[in-house]
Amino acid sequence: MNCPNSNRKGFTLVELLVVIIIIGILAGITFTGASYVFTVQEEKKARGEIEALQLALEQFKNEFGRYPETTQNSDPNNRSSLLFLALSGFADEFGKPIEDERNRNFLPADTFTLGKMDGSEIVDYSIDSAVLVQGKQFDEEVFIVDPWTSPYQYEYPRADGHNGYLLFSKGPDGDSSTFNSELTDTPEKAGVDMDNIPPSEPGKW
């Protein structure tokens, strides 16, 4: 009679399941860690781009005497498009096309990611550098998008009554509160605003 070999090689089904579970746990930890690092990098990029936009807006104000005005634009996408047109030298401080020799370009297009609407979605958009260099007219509704492909939100003067302009990213969730009338006190911060960049906007928290 042959006795079972207690020293047999190989894995039992239970051992294989344990190995699979361990691999799954390690993969989950790795994915979570990588996602966190990626999110931190995107947030850092958004903060840097907002700082660059703020600098460009100050340069625009020095040239024109005021920030690009969005009073006639109730659509957030239109306001975001005006921000790009003004800082790229296609529009003046009132959003009107500059028909003569273009003024200074405050924002080279290749510094940021651009997008435009395609149906209900925002798709990447590239602009020919010759359009910027040669001073050609431009009438596309294009906006500067954040790392999550949402237009940077811009408004001047601010509808909420605060001084200065409104400029922020909606963050990873692509959503935020909207204040279309003057605020008499600081509003409660909603969940959709927790990931906004900077975190103080749009309610001046």
pLDDT tens digits, one per residue of 154-184: 999 999 999 999 999 999 999 999 998 888 8
Strand, coil or helix: what is 140? coil
51 against 131, higher pLDDT: 51
How many other C-beta atoms can be found within 10 angstroms of the C-beta atom of residue 143? Answer: 28
Query: pTM of the entire structure?
Result: 0.80
Work out the burial of residue 73: count CB atoms within 10 Å of its CB; fewer than 13 is exposed, 13-18 middle, 19 or more buried. Answer: middle
Nearest to 137 by CA among 99, 109, 94: 99
Highest mean pLDDT of the ranges 4-13, 120-129, 189-198: 189-198
Spatial contact of 202 and 170, defined as CB atoms under 8 Å apart: no
Q: What is the mean pLDDT of residues 104-120?
A: 84
Local confidence band at 15 (pLDDT 50, 70, 90 cut-offs):
confident
How far apart (Å, rounded) are the C-alpha atoms in residues 95 and 99? 12
Q: What is the mean pLDDT of residues 4-14?
A: 65
Q: What does the mean pLDDT of the chain come to?
A: 86
For 26-69, the pLDDT digits (tens) are 887 877 766 777 788 999 999 999 999 999 999 999 999 999 99
Local confidence band at 74 (pLDDT 50, 70, 90 cut-offs):
confident
Work out the burial of residue 156: count CB atoms within 10 Å of its CB; fewer than 13 is exposed, 13-18 middle, 19 or more buried. Answer: buried
In DSSP notation, 127-141 reads --HHHHHTT------
How many other C-beta atoms can be found within 10 angstroms of the C-beta atom of residue 45? Answer: 15
